[in-house]
């Protein structure tokens, strides 16, 4: 069974940093592209970042470019999101998500339960 | 990249059908057959319902169907059931640097 478990969320002051983790199990992690998607309270979904299976290709949404860094450790079956220079508008539930089959269908078939990041003084 | 446009709400009685639209541009919805639909119940993670415009993942009832015409994609839920009441989001590929752009979301109410 595919499982994605996020951790690392919490309360942080504006300008601060936080590192999110996503522990993957139930599949060959190194074979799949991964993404972070966030959802502000009461708002819609927003794609944040993508990383290829090897980690060699990375994309970011304009809203986080230059402040967030996605990475992965295939030996540890883990995905990370380093978030720096946090702003109030970064407050959201952050989900890690995997594509459905790994065959490039560009659909997020598996999601974690999310971790809440609150940026406030 | 701007969010895709969805109606804020839609509703139908049990057994009826409801269709949700998702409007983008030729740079996203109209340019690729990588439109997906997600269902989200309150406090839960999104669930993939449709991918590649009209394909259903294993386990998704065939009451859910997708289509696309030009820059607008649509999700139809036939034979509405109480458990279909949820928020629905579309997404599309929008070019090599933007694998996903989401819609604004539609709240479906079963009357």
CB contact (8 A) between residue B102 and residue A105: no
CB contact (8 A) between residue A62 and residue B1: yes
A2 to chain B nearest CA, in Å? 14
Q: H helices within chain A, ranges in order?
A: none
The pLDDT of residue A101: 87
List the end-to-end C-alpha distance of chain A, in Å, as a whole number: 40
Q: What is the pLDDT of residues A62-97, one digit of tens each?
A: 999 999 999 999 999 999 999 999 999 999 999 999
Which residue from A35, A50, A100 is facing B51, i.e. has the nearest CB?
A100
- Locus of tokens 């990383």: A51
- Distance CA(B3)–CA(B1), nearest Å, equals 7
CB contact (8 A) between residue B99 and residue A59: yes
Asked whether A67 and A33 are in contact (CB, 8 A), the reply is: no
The pLDDT of residue B53: 96
Q: What is the pLDDT of residues A11-69, one digit of tens each?
A: 999 999 999 999 999 999 999 999 999 999 999 999 999 999 999 999 999 999 999 99
The pLDDT of residue A107: 94
Contact with chain A for residue B39, Cβ under 8 A: no
- Locus of tokens 């504006």: A14
pLDDT at B1 > cutoff 80? no
Half-sphere exposure at residue B29, Cβ-oriented, CA atoms within 13 angstroms: 25
Q: What is the pLDDT of residues B4-25, one digit of tens each?
A: 999 999 999 999 999 999 999 9
Which residue from B93, B99, B102 is facing A45, i.e. has the nearest CB?
B102
pLDDT at A105 > cutoff 90? no
Report chain A residues touching chain B, CB-CB < 8 A. Answer: 35, 37, 44-47, 50, 59, 61-62, 95, 100, 105-109, 111-114
Q: What is the pLDDT of residues B88-107, one digit of tens each?
A: 999 999 987 999 999 999 99
The pLDDT of residue A17: 98
Maximum CA pair distance of chain B? Answer: 41
pLDDT band at B82 (very low <50, low <70, confident <90, very high): very high
Q: What is the pLDDT of residues B31-60, one digit of tens each?
A: 999 999 999 999 999 999 999 999 999 999
């Amino acid at each position: 069974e595919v499982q994605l478990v996020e951790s690392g969320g919490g309360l942080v002051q504006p300008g601060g940093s936080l590192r999110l983790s996503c522990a993957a199990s139930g599949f060959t992690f190194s074979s799949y592209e991964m993404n972070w998607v966030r959802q502000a309270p009461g708002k819609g979904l927003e794609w944040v970042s993508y990383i290829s299976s090897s980690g060699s290709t990375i994309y970011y949404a304009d809203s986080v470019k230059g402040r967030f860094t996605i990475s992965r450790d295939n030996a540890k079956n883990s995905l990370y999101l380093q978030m720096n220079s946090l702003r109030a508008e970064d407050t959201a539930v952050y989900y890690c998500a995997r594509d459905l089959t790994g065959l490039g269908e560009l659909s997020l078939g598996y999601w974690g339960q999310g971790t809440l990041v609150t940026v406030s003084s | 990249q701007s969010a895709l446009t969805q109606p804020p709400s839609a509703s139908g009685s049990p057994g009826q059908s409801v269709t949700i639209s998702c409007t983008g541009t030729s740079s996203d919805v109209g340019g690729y057959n990588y439109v997906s639909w997600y269902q989200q119940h309150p406090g839960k993670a999104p669930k993939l319902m449709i991918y590649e415009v009209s394909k259903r993942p294993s386990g998704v009832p065939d009451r859910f169907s997708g289509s696309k015409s030009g820059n607008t994609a649509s999700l139809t839920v036939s034979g509405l059931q109480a458990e279909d009441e949820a928020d629905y989001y579309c997404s599309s590929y929008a070019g090599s640097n933007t694998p996903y752009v989401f819609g604004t979301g539609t709240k479906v109410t079963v009357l």
